[in-house]
Amino acid sequence: MADTRNAHFWRWYRTLPIVLMTAMLALTLVVDVLPTEMVRHVFFPVSYAERIDDAAARHGVDPHLVAAVIRCESGWNETAQSGAGAVGLMQLMPETAKNVAGLGLVDTNTYDPNRLTDAVTNIEYGTAYLAYLGSQFSDSDEIICAYNAGIGAVQGWQQNAAGGEFRDAIAYPETREYLNSVNEAIRQYTKYYPNGMSVV
C-alpha cells in the first residue's frame, strides 16, 4: 500500500514541472496576442514612470533596469520592508542610502536619505546606487548581482570565474534566480515600454 502511494506521489512529482512549463508557455502565448496597452496595464504596470525616467536620465542608468529592479525587489509596493531592514520600492538598506549620499551622488537637500519610505526619494537613491555599481562593474549581470548580493560577493565571483562564464561562478542560488528575474523583467519592460517608462 505504501509502495503504491509512493509510486503515485513520484509520478505526480515528475509531472508537476511539465504542467508548470505548459502553463507558462500558454501564458506567454496569450500575452503575445493581447493588445499592448492591456499587457502593460495587467502584467507590467508601472508607477512613478516619469520619476523613473528622470532619475535614470540624471544618473545614466537604463530606466528599464530601474523598473525591473523595483518589480523584483518590492513588486511596486512602496511600503515594503524586509526582515533585514531594506526599505521601499527598491528595497534599499538605510546604510546604503547614506553611503550613496556620502559619495555626493544624490542632492541630499532635495532627497533626504532618511526618507526611504518616500517613493520618489527611494527611486533616486536606488537609481544612483545602480549608477555607482555601473562604475564598479562593466557587465550588466554583475551590476544586477551586486545590487542583490553586494560588491564584495561579485568581486569574489569574478575571480572564481577566471575567464570563464560569470554566471557559473555565482555562489548564491537566490542571486542566480534574482539575476534571471531581473533580466526577464528588463526584456519585458523594453518590449512594452520601448521609449522609456513614461513614453507609451
Tell me, what CATH number does 113's domain have?
Answer: 1.10.530.10
Residues 137 and 174 in one domain: yes
Look at the chain and report how many structural domains it folds into.
2
Specify which residues 92 forms β-bridges with.
87
Residues 94 and 132 in one domain: yes
Distance, CA of 94 to CA of 35 (rounded, Å): 40
Residues 20 and 118 in one domain: no
Residue 70: inside a domain: yes
pLDDT tens column, 18-65: 766 666 555 555 556 567 788 777 888 899 999 999 999 999 999 999
pLDDT above 70 covers what percent of the chain?
84
Residues 123 and 157 in one domain: yes
Burial of 135-171, coded b for 16+ CB within 10 Å and e otherwise, reads eebeebbbbbbbbbbeeebbeebeeeeeeeebeebbe
Model confidence at 89, pLDDT cuts 50, 70, 90, reads: very high
Residues 1 and 84 in one domain: no
Residues 24 and 122 in one domain: no
Residues 13 and 65 in one domain: no
Specify which residues 87 forms β-bridges with.
81, 92
Burial class (CB in 10 A: 0-12, 13-18, 19+), 197: buried
* Residue in this structure with the C-alpha cell 564584495, named with its chain if needed: 152
Average pLDDT estimate for 146-160: 96
Please report the pLDDT score of residue 137 as a whole number: 96
Residues 160 and 77 in one domain: yes
pLDDT tens column, 123-146: 999 999 999 999 999 899 999 999
Residue 198: inside a domain: no
Residue 178: inside a domain: yes
Domain that holds residue 4: 1-33
Residues 29 and 52 in one domain: no
Residues 6 and 67 in one domain: no
Residues 91 and 70 in one domain: yes
- How high does pLDDT run on average in the chain? 89
DSSP-derived 3-state class of residue 193: coil
Residues 142, 166 contacting (CB under 8 angstroms): yes
Residues 55 and 129 in one domain: yes
Q: Which residues are catalytic?
A: 73
**Is the pLDDT score of 106 beyond 90?**
yes
Distance, CA of 89 to CA of 21 (rounded, Å): 29
